[in-house]
Structure 1
Amino acid sequence: MSTDIPNDGISLRFKYGPHTIFLFVDRVASFDAISTQLLAVLRERYPRGLLQGDPSLPGNTAVPPAGQACHIVYGLPRNPRDLVAGWRAVNVEGENPTTLKLRQNAVLAFALETDSDPKPEFRVEIPTFDEEEP
């Protein structure tokens, strides 16, 4: 007899610069919990910071160490079919993926809001497939 395992999770794609972080999260997890999970992954995977993607911007964006105050700001695409159209900030306080009606593999931009950068921007680099020159 087979046992059905409930699938209460959802895969989300979080973008910053050229980075895309795939996280499997609980559909009803608060964004505070998701932010904690995302920060843990960023600290482990990018100890030297996140690439900004824009060559004109010097250096990397530092990921604050554990214990340092950091708030993650999230953005949803203005047009989900055209990520180049930009991002709109979304208030995730008291929200979860279900209340925001996020679907499997939804894309969210994120920015790290710290004391030194109180107004972060969504810096997302979208890959393009240009035809090769003959």
Structure 2
Amino acid sequence: MAADIPTDGISLRFKSGPVTTFLFVDRSATFTSIGNRLLDALRERYPHGLPETAMLPDTTPLPAAGEGDARVVFGVPRNPRDLSVGWKPLNTDNGETPTSLRLRENSVLAFTIQSGDSIGGTPSFHVEIPTFEEEQLGEEDEEE
């Protein structure tokens, strides 16, 4: 018997530093609720903080559940075919949803977490995009 696959959802990829988190979200969910789901997933996966880079053990602490002054800010690629070009902030303050922003299945969004004095400021998105050469080096290391 085939499994029923919900058709009211969309898979999105959220990137920060070296981390990519896939979430299946409701197309009509607001980005406030999507941000809360993303934080819950990150807290579970990275209880000691979100990795900042692939090479260094530095982490960014995640806000505790229920911490009222933290919010997730999202960005879209300046060029969807070349993520290294950078990201522009996505305005999600008016209850936008994946549907209202016309996001497609497997869309990529950068994210950053703002809290305290940084809330409302211009967000800065740090996303590490692996290159083909880096991926080849990683495969060679695994073969040894």
**TM-score interval w.r.t. the shorter chain?**
0.7 to 0.9
Return the alpha-carbon distance in structure 2 between the equivalents of residues 78 and 61 of structure 1. Answer: 25
The residue identity in structure 1 corresponding to 2:21 is I
Return the alpha-carbon distance in structure 1 between the equivalents of residues 6 and 47 of structure 2. Answer: 35
Query: Which residue of structure 2 aligns with residue 97 of structure 1?
Result: 98
Change (3 A) 1:100 1:66: same
The residue identity in structure 2 corresponding to 1:85 is V
Query: Which residue of structure 2 aligns with residue 72 of structure 1?
Result: 72
- Mean CA deviation greater in 59-68 or 102-111: 59-68
Query: By how many angstroms is 1:59 displaced?
Result: 2.5
Query: By how many angstroms is 1:55 displaced?
Result: 5.7
1:14–1:108 contact (8 Å) kept in structure 2: yes
- Name the structure where helix makes up a greater proportion of residues: 2
Query: By how many angstroms is 1:60 displaced?
Result: 1.0
> SS of the counterpart of 2:12?
strand
Return the alpha-carbon distance in structure 1 between the equivalents of residues 6 and 54 of structure 2. Answer: 42
TM-score norm. by structure 2 comes to 0.81
RMSD: 2.5
The residue identity in structure 2 corresponding to 1:96 is T
Aligned length: 131
Return the alpha-carbon distance in structure 1 between the equivalents of residues 33 and 118 of structure 2. Answer: 22
Query: Which residue of structure 1 aligns with residue 141 of structure 2?
Result: none
Task: Give ranges in structure 2 of 5+ residues lacking alignment.
Answer: 138-144
1:53–1:123 contact (8 Å) kept in structure 2: no
Return the alpha-carbon distance in structure 1 between the equivalents of residues 54 and 66 of structure 2. Answer: 29
Query: By how many angstroms is 1:6 displaced?
Result: 5.0
Return the alpha-carbon distance in structure 1 between the equivalents of residues 6 and 55 of structure 2. Answer: 45
- Mean CA deviation greater in 58-67 or 70-79: 58-67
> SS of the counterpart of 1:111?
strand
Return the alpha-carbon distance in structure 1 between the equivalents of residues 105 and 29 of structure 2. Answer: 15
Change (3 A) 1:117 1:52: farther
Change (3 A) 1:43 1:116: farther
TM-score norm. by structure 1 comes to 0.87
Query: Which residue of structure 1 aligns with residue 140 of structure 2?
Result: none
- Mean CA deviation greater in 102-111 or 31-40: 31-40
Task: Give ranges in structure 1 of 5+ residues lacking alignment.
Answer: none
Q: Which runs of structure 1 show a deviation greater than 2 angstroms over 4 or more consecutive aligned residues?
A: 116-120
> SS of the counterpart of 2:72?
strand
- Mean CA deviation greater in 44-53 or 75-84: 44-53
